[in-house]
Amino acid sequence: MELSDNQLIERIRGGDSDSFAPLIERYKRTIFNLMYRYSNSVDDAADMTQDVFCRVYEKLDRYREEQKFFSWFYTLALNYARDWRKQRCSDARKIRRFEPGEQTAGNQPEHETESKQQIEKLMLALETLSEDRKEMLILRYRHERSIKELAEIFDLSESAVKMRLHRSLEELGHKLDG
């Protein structure tokens, strides 16, 4: 039986540092992808991911169980990534790249080229959004996070999150159409 985040945290706080490993396994890909979006470098993203996990471990005593662990953790990681970007990339916005996705219609060269072009167009359009809007869309639609979790992460009401998602999708749609 897999332990919940809070059960693992309780064990860690009780002195069982080995219980941190399942949390790393559970969230390493999500955090690495976030760091990669901010750095556009596999090496930097790996270093940043390690730094985030170290910070999370050091700050576990600040986590309150009434909040979802993922929300608390992702907020810490997002703040780290923003600080990193300010320090390293204050004068240039870089185009974010995702790991290659699965092809849905076989290996036809025309389809692959069209899909790559559509993905590139979407990534460029996402880059034009503010960091908060971009992260909110990615968390909601790529990582399937709830409105409640987004409200906790971005310190907003649930209705404000819904409105921002709606406006962000509208803005993204206009950019893709134009």
Q: What's 161's domain CATH number? A: 1.10.10.10
End-to-end Cα spacing for the chain: 50
Q: Are residues 66 and 7 in the same domain?
A: yes
pLDDT at 143: 82
How confident is the model over 103-140, as pLDDT tens digits?
Answer: 444 455 565 666 677 777 788 888 888 888 888 888 88
pLDDT at 111: 57
C-alpha span between 82 and 89 (Å, rounded): 10
pTM: 0.61
pLDDT at 84: 87
Q: Are residues 125 and 172 in the same domain?
A: yes
pLDDT at 139: 86
How confident is the model over 36-55, as pLDDT tens digits?
Answer: 988 888 988 999 999 999 99
Task: Kindly report the backbone phi and psi dihedral angles of residue 105, in degrees, each rounded to the nearest multiple of 5, phi listed first.
Answer: -125, 50
Domain annotation covers residue 120: yes
pLDDT(20) > 70: yes
How confident is the model over 58-88, as pLDDT tens digits?
Answer: 999 999 988 899 999 999 999 999 888 887 7
pLDDT at 69: 92
Average pLDDT over residues 132-150: 86
pLDDT(19) > 80: yes
Q: Are residues 82 and 145 in the same domain?
A: no
Q: Are residues 82 and 130 in the same domain?
A: no
Helix, strand, coil shares of the chain, percent, nearest 5, are 75, 0, 25
Q: What is the number of structural domains in the chain?
A: 2
Q: What percent of the chain has pLDDT over 90?
A: 37
Domain annotation covers residue 95: no
pLDDT at 72: 94
Structural contact between residues 30 and 24, judged by C-beta atoms closer than 8 angstroms: no
- Domain end, chosen from 73, 89, 105, is at 89
Show the domain range for 154: 115-178
Domain annotation covers residue 157: yes
Domain annotation covers residue 98: no
pLDDT at 56: 94
